[in-house]
Structure 1
Amino acid sequence: MSQQLPLISHLLELRNRLLRAIASVLLVFVCLVYWAKDIYHYMAVPLLQAMPESGTMIATDVGAPFFAPFKLTMVLSLFIAIPYVLYQIWAFVAPGLYKHEKRLVFPLLISSTLLFYLGIVFAYYVVFPVVFGFFANVAPEGVQVATDISSYLNFILKLFFAFGLAFEIPIAVVLLCWAGVTTPEDLKSKRPYIVVGAFVVGMLLTPPDILSQTMLAVPMLLLFEGGLLAARFYKPADDEDDSEEAEQP
């Protein structure tokens, strides 16, 4: 077994990994910032298409026309750089993991990234058109729809994070079963409570309308069922430890 590095070496490596992760986000941001206005317009398309002909977007703050696209581009840079950021995390923790832990963690890092992206894509292409169309159609007669660009940005970022995190449910289920906290059979027996919990989470993470809450809760339940299926392919950590010890001469 290799000699353990002193604490200061671990801290230096952690610092280097963090600096590389931050540098990757900044590099992506520098490449995208020139198109910040175009990126914001692309994100605003679902709302603009749902608005009536008299509807428009407005800026109520003096600096909003600059800061809103700037903020969106920074968040988008973080999303794009996530695979490299996760790789830096993996490279830092991998030397201290057992073989069976590496077999679990690496696939989960890849799948969690893909699921997070899938949640964002689902929110943009499926949820946004429905939610914004609903909001535009329920506006009282005589009320002109005029959405502030900063408020809209905060709204869509909240939904992006909500759906991105919600799509991580299969990963959470697999980790809980692998850690021995629960079992697929135990989770199946608690399915009615999980259904209620999904709608409660949808209520807390989305705007206060039943439509967006349902559109978050239903995918969460489907992903939960997918997590149950995936968890059957992972043995609990204690069982893997025992099998590895049995293989040793």
Structure 2
Amino acid sequence: MSFVDHLEELRWHVIRAVIALLIFTVAAFIKMDWIFREVLFAPSRPDFWTFKLLCKHFDYCVGEPNFSLQSRTMTGQFSMHITAAFIIGFVIAFPYIFWEIWRFVKPGLKIKEQQNSMNAVLAVSFLFFLGVVFGYYMVLPITIQFLANYQIDPAIVNQFDVTSYISMVCFMVLGCGLMFELPVLIYILSKMDMMTPKFMRTYRRHAIVVILFISAVLTPSPDMLSQLLIGIPLVLLYEISIFISAYVQNTKAKEEEF
């Protein structure tokens, strides 16, 4: 296949991915009133599922958030409507977008790797949505609760711009989804001999320190429970990545023997 043929094939993969993204973006735009009320604003309310669970089992009960939302620009609500719809559309369309990317690179892979293509798509999609759920139900409500009730002085009233709130919700959830792709990244780097399980085990303590720092940034709340709720899954993710790197290394060693 010539270079021009590759470009033509890439063009159609991109077109199909963009069409899927537009379909879900338009659907999210149309249903945005329900999405704002039941999805985007839900983590800020004390009756949110996470707060009910924490209150019941850990006596971590919260009250009404101490803030109000405002739109300070003429185009603020409209532009945020479009931005939120696009990000939500991307999250929903992510498996199909990745599937189109995989279909483009698939011909350049080995036969065995091509046979595992569906497993790769399922793994990437599962990890992404697992990260989205983790960000939405764990990271986001704790972060909102702390920042919304943080007050230097009673004279200062928390009146946030709706753009600031929605941007934080969307990008934090999306960021967690991408962060949970760490095992996939480690798998690729291990296949390219750029990462080894020995290296990851050697610097495990350093990685844990970085994870604790990330947990402290994502959950600025000073209580240890919040940071552990974020940190423990990330440590588990790192340990899974070590196992994956070791699996890749052992598989390559067996292939070289034959």
The TM tier, using the shorter chain, reads 0.7 to 0.9
1:232 match: secondary structure: helix
Alpha-carbon contact 1:119-1:166 (below 8 Å) kept:
yes
Q: Matched residues in 1 for 2:66 and 2:222: separation?
A: 27
Identity %: 24
**Correspondence 1:11 to 2:39:** no
Alpha-carbon contact 2:183-2:244 (below 8 Å) kept:
yes
User: Structure 1 residues 135, 31: closer, same or farther in 2, change over 3 A?
Assistant: closer
Aligned twin of 2:111: 99
Q: Which moved more, 1:182-191 or 1:117-126?
A: 182-191
Alpha-carbon contact 1:51-1:136 (below 8 Å) kept:
no
Aligned twin of 2:84: 72
Q: Matched residues in 2 for 1:187 and 1:177: separation?
A: 11
1:57 match: secondary structure: strand
2:81 match: secondary structure: helix
Q: How many residues align?
A: 239
Unaligned runs of 5+ in 2: 47-61
Aligned twin of 2:42: 45
Aligned twin of 2:187: 174
The Cα of 1:202 is off from its aligned counterpart by 5.2
The Cα of 1:86 is off from its aligned counterpart by 1.1
The Cα of 1:21 is off from its aligned counterpart by 0.5
The Cα of 1:224 is off from its aligned counterpart by 0.4
Alpha-carbon contact 2:65-2:149 (below 8 Å) kept:
no
Q: Which moved more, 1:154-163 or 1:117-126?
A: 154-163
Report Cα offsets for 1:36-76 as digits up to 9, x if no partner.
22212220222244774774211111112222122111111
CA-atom RMSD, angstroms?
2.8
Alpha-carbon contact 2:195-2:245 (below 8 Å) kept:
no
**Correspondence 1:87 to 2:87:** no
1:26 match: secondary structure: helix
User: Structure 1 residues 223, 147: closer, same or farther in 2, change over 3 A?
Assistant: same
Paired AA for residue 40 in structure 2: M
The Cα of 1:177 is off from its aligned counterpart by 2.7
Aligned twin of 1:226: 240
Alpha-carbon contact 2:65-2:145 (below 8 Å) kept:
no
Q: Which moved more, 1:31-40 or 1:148-157?
A: 31-40
Aligned twin of 1:32: 28
Q: Matched residues in 2 for 1:53 and 1:82: separation?
A: 32
Alpha-carbon contact 1:48-1:56 (below 8 Å) kept:
no
Report Cα offsets for 1:118-148 as digits up to 9, x if no partner.
1111111112222222223332324333221
1:119-158 matches, cutoff 5 A: 119-139=131-151, 140-158=153-171
User: Structure 1 residues 34, 221: closer, same or farther in 2, change over 3 A?
Assistant: same
Alpha-carbon contact 1:57-1:149 (below 8 Å) kept:
yes
TM-score scaled by length of structure 1? 0.82
